[in-house]
Amino acid sequence: MAVYIALSTLTDEGRKTLKKHPERINEVNREIEAMGIKVTGQYAVLGPYDFVTVLEAPNNEAVLKMSVELGSRGTVQLITLPAITVEEFINTLK
């Protein structure tokens, strides 16, 4: 499985939803896992993004489908980055 980093920013609607239902975060993570993508880590952060989520997915297409599905709801904007470990990166350069 490939690793991806998702940087997400809540929209005004997303912030309203989380204020009323903070458990929605876990519900969305279960929806992501039902799409065949594993959430391996998630952090609420300060700065230009609201959450950093580490994902494992079978391929780019699965992540693309997830991004479109979540983004189409109007509650979050996503930037998703494929990632490799530093060790893999070094081996690639050899």
pLDDT at 44: 98
Shortest CA distance to 73 belongs to which of 24, 34, 3, 19? 24
pLDDT at 30: 97
Percent of the chain with pLDDT over 70: 100
Q: How far is 90 from 17, CA to CA, in rounded Å?
A: 42
Q: Mean of the pLDDT values across residues 16-28?
A: 97
Strand locations in the chain (E): 2-10, 38-44, 51-57, 76-83
- Topology annotation, domain 2-93: Alpha-Beta Plaits (3.30.70)
DSSP state of 36: T
The 10 Å CB-count burial string (b at 16+, else e) for 49-73 is bbbebebebeeeebbeebbeebeee
pLDDT at 49: 98
8, burial (CB in 10 Å: exposed 0-12, middle 13-18, buried 19+): buried
